[in-house]
Each structure stands twice: as structure tokens, then as C-alpha cells.
Amino acid sequence: MTEERWFQITYWPLLIASVLFIIAYSLQVIFELSGTAETIARSFVYATWFVFIVDYLVRLWLSSPRGPWFRHHIFDLLVVIIPPLKPLRLLQAFTRVASKRTSQGTALRSRISVYGAGAALILIWVAALAVLDAERGKPGANIETFGDAVWWAFVTITTVGYGDYYPVTAAGRTVAVGLMAGGVAVVGVVTATFASWVLERAAARSSDDDEPATRGQIRAMSKDLTRITNRLSGGPPPEQ
């Protein structure tokens, strides 16, 4: 059983699991479920989480060599920590497609925008849930409603930070740090995408003759040269 095979088999089940995860977590936090309802939701959330950890370990175990696999699947490790990020796989698929025909840089850029925006929105939603779950009812806490939590998440990921709402518990602050890191990454991605667009425009040549010479052109010329050399070796045939 190879890692690829396992990945294909578990792809859709895990994607659905992650969607259910986010739904269950949202219900539990937003509607302040209590008693049996909370028990069910919470246990479901932990169950999904467990599934993701198992899946990651299985894939790490199936992979060979393990070192490179680990390095090339940091995103999957991230998903183990934040399972709701799993749906990003769909977007990730898009970007993977884009990377195949990146000759049109615009296609890649639009893909990255879609991917980045999707990641940012999921991060905001999940961070709002997590922070509300951690803060609500704690002494000195000021994030008490989901609306405020979402507002706080937007203010944080854009690094604006008014300070009208901020976490006070260790758990809430840990979530906030992740969100801030996400914010720095978002700014980075947005800027990088703009930069790529500006540079492409600035480097555009007026005529194709001004574009850099290609290896293909040189190879074609080399063929011509070989033909000439051969003719010389064979001497100029006819007119002898």
C-alpha cells in the first residue's frame, strides 16, 4: 500500500469529515450547546480530530523516504493542528493545476488570490470560534458574542488591532498568535501577487524581437550549422 494510494482513498472522506468538523464546532460554540448536545458536538469534534492525526501518521509511515515527505507536507501537518483547513485542499488542487500552465502568469495570480482569500476567511471563521470558546465567561474577558469574535478576527488578521477587543486567556492568546501569523502571511501573499503583476507588466517588451533569445532558437541554428559542416565534408557535390 503506497502513500499515494492511501491519499486517493481517503481524499474525499477526509474532506467531508473536515466540513462536518467545522459545522459541529460552529454549532457547539455559536449556540452555546450544553448538556447532551454539547457532549455530542464536542465528542464529534475530537473524533474528527483523532481521524486526521491517524491519517497523517499513517501517511508518514507509508511514505518513503520519510524526511523529504515530512518537509514537503508541512501543509498536512498544519491541517492536523487546524482540521478545518482541510477544505483548502480543493483550492490547493486549483493552484496545483495553475502551476502546470503558468505561462499565463495571470491564471496563477488569480488562483493564488482565490486560495489566499479562502484560507483567510476560513482562518477568520475558525479563530473567531476558538477565541469565543476560550474567552466567553472568563474573568476580565471582553469577547462575549460571536459577532464581536468575528470582528476581532478581522481586526487582528489585517494587523489593524484597535484594541476594543482582545483575548485575556492563555488559550485565546494562542489562537490570536496563530491568527496574527496568518495576517502577516496574508499581507505577504497579497503583496507578492501584486509585485508579480507589476514586474510582468514592467518587463513586457514592445516587440517579440526584443524578448530574450530561447534555447529552442539556438538548437534550430545548431542544426543548420551541422548541415553546413556535413556539406563541407562531403564537398560541394553537384558542380564537381
Residues 108-127 contacting a copy of itself, CB under 8 A? 108-110, 112
| 2 in contact with a copy of itself (CB under 8 A) | no
> Please, what is the minimum distance in Å from the beta carbon of residue 82 to a copy of itself?
18
Q: Which is nearer to a copy of itself, 1 or 225 (by Cβ)? A: 225
Of 126, 41, 120, 30, give the one whose Cα is nearest residue 83: 126
182 neighbors 157 (Cβ within 8 angstroms): yes
Complex with a copy of itself: residue 10 or 196, whichever CB lies closer: 196
140: alpha, beta or left? (left if phi > 0; alpha if psi -120 to 50): left
Which DSSP category does 49 fall into? H
Which residue from 73, 34, 68 is spatially nearest to 52, judged by alpha carbons? 73
Which of 50, 75 has the CB closer to a copy of itself? 75
Chain positions 163 to 222 lying near a copy of itself, rule: CB under 8 A, are: 163-164, 166, 170, 173, 176-177, 180-181, 183-222
Confirm or reject binding of residue 145 to a copy of itself (CB under 8 A).
Answer: no
Using CA atoms, how far apart are residues 35 and 31, in angstroms rounded to an integer?
Answer: 12
Q: With binding defined as CB under 8 A, does residue 103 bind a copy of itself?
A: yes
Is residue 225 part of the contact set for a copy of itself (CB under 8 A)?
yes
Rounded CA separation 186/157 (Å): 8
Q: Is 65 helix (H, G, I), strand (E, B) or coil?
A: coil
Is residue 137 within the footprint of a copy of itself (CB under 8 A)?
A: no
We find the least distance from the C-beta atom of residue 93 to a copy of itself, in angstroms, to be: 16
Which position among 8, 43, 64, 226 is part of the footprint of a copy of itself (CB under 8 A)? 226
d(CA 149, CA 123) in angstroms, rounded, equals 12
**Least distance (Å) between residue 173 CB and a copy of itself:** 5
User: Which CB, 66 or 231, lies closer to a copy of itself?
Assistant: 231
CA atoms 29, 35, 38, 39: torsion sign: positive
Is position 35 an interface residue for a copy of itself (rule: CB under 8 A)?
no
Rounded least distance, CB 46 to a copy of itself, Å: 27
- Helix or strand or coil: residue 179? helix
Q: Point out which span in 34-42, 58-66, 79-87, 223-231 binds a copy of itself (CB under 8 A).
A: 223-231
Three cell numbers, residue 138: 472568563
